Amino acid sequence: MRIDVLTLFPEAFESILKVSIVQRARQKGLLRIVLSNIRDFARDNYRSVDDKPYGGGPGMVMMCQPIFDCLEQVEAAEATKGRRILLTPQGQPFTQELAGELAQDERLILIAGRYEGFDERIRIALKPLELSIGDYVLSGGEIPAMVIIDAVTRLLPGALGDETSIEQESFAASLLEYPQYTRPEVFRDLRVPEVLLSGHHANIRDWRLQQARERTAQRRPDLLTAPSNSKQEKQSDFQDNRKS
Ligand code: 9D3
């Protein structure tokens, strides 16, 4: 997969490029990330990429011209144009399911903005998929773009070490994780639950499923009623558990 990022802060992406799974996927040749600085496409002496909103109001708006020109050059670099994605607080919520769909694509083009927003003609003419990563206010689209890169990269075939992990991740949205323990058996008087030491695999499975259900009901009851849940499949995760 090739991921292009159009941004005013390409240097902000150094961190994600250099660590863990994204870095490993790049080394393995599964992923190529190409950063483009929108400001390189500015045309005036001030290298402007934003301007005042028509009709007045606070803040500045990202101009069409630098983004259109940057995108045109980026798209021309490959035969495959790729899926255009605009990061905005008004976008469709990014989910694990969507990450799975994006991971099938050959090429993604992420456009991260700053300021109060984009000139509406960027939406009208470029018809991007518009994504938000959640209902909180960030300073720009760079962190959302990194979130998408990270979530999608994990789903590229061969990116994760062992193959069972991907299967388990696809169920991540249906039930919360059960409690996990590692050595020692007693730490500051806190004991590991007896069932986990018993070696009785059927009981361990039952306990984990029950714990996961209780925890989900307590903390995220919305997950238990959501239509996209594959609870059957999640249960099969417990029936054939290779997690620990
Ligand atoms: C005052 C109205 N604000 C819109 C809710 C203005 C505004 C706030 C923050 C405009 C842009 C931004 C910068 N945020 C993003 O670019 C962004 C974002 C986010 O803030 N939260 C969650 N997902 C995303 S994706 C892009």
Task: Calculate how far, in angstroms, residue 135's C-alpha sits from the geometric centre of ligand 1.
Answer: 9
The Cα 202–Cα 204 span in angstroms is 5
Task: Calculate how far, in angstroms, residue 207's C-alpha sits from the geometric centre of ligand 1.
Answer: 42
Q: Closest Cα to atom 14, ligand 1: which residue?
A: 140
- Name every protein residue with a CB atom under 6 angstroms from any ligand 1 atom: 87-89, 113, 116-117, 132-134, 136-141, 144
Residue 131 Cα: closest atom of ligand 1: 25
Helix, strand, coil fractions of the chain, as percent rounded to 5: 40, 20, 40
Buried b (16+ CB within 10 A) or exposed e, 124-144: eebebebbbbeeeeeebbbeb
pLDDT of res. 234: 52
Supply the DSSP symbol for 87: E
pLDDT of res. 243: 36
Q: Closest Cα to atom 4, ligand 1: which residue?
A: 89
Residue 116 Cα: closest atom of ligand 1: 10
What domains, with CATH codes, occur in the chain? 2-153 (3.40.1280.10), 164-235 (1.10.1270.20)
The Cα 121–Cα 62 span in angstroms is 11
What's the Cα-to-Cα distance from 240 to each of 49, 209, 237, rounded to whole Å? 54, 12, 6
The preferred substitution site among 61, 119, 137 for testing ligand 1, maximizing ligand atoms within 8 Å of CB, is: 137
The Cα 140–Cα 95 span in angstroms is 19
HSE-CB of 230 using CA atoms within 13 angstroms:
11
Task: Calculate how far, in angstroms, residue 26's C-alpha sits from the geometric centre of ligand 1.
Answer: 29
Per-residue pLDDT of the chain (244 residues), as tens digits, is 999 999 999 999 999 999 889 999 999 999 999 999 999 999 999 999 999 999 999 999 999 999 999 999 999 999 999 999 999 999 999 999 999 999 999 999 999 999 999 999 999 999 999 999 999 999 999 999 999 999 999 999 999 986 556 666 555 558 999 999 999 999 999 999 999 999 999 999 999 999 999 999 999 999 999 876 454 445 555 754 433 3
Instruction: Dig out the tokens for 210 from the structure.
Output: 């029950």
88 neighbors 118 (Cβ within 8 angstroms) = yes
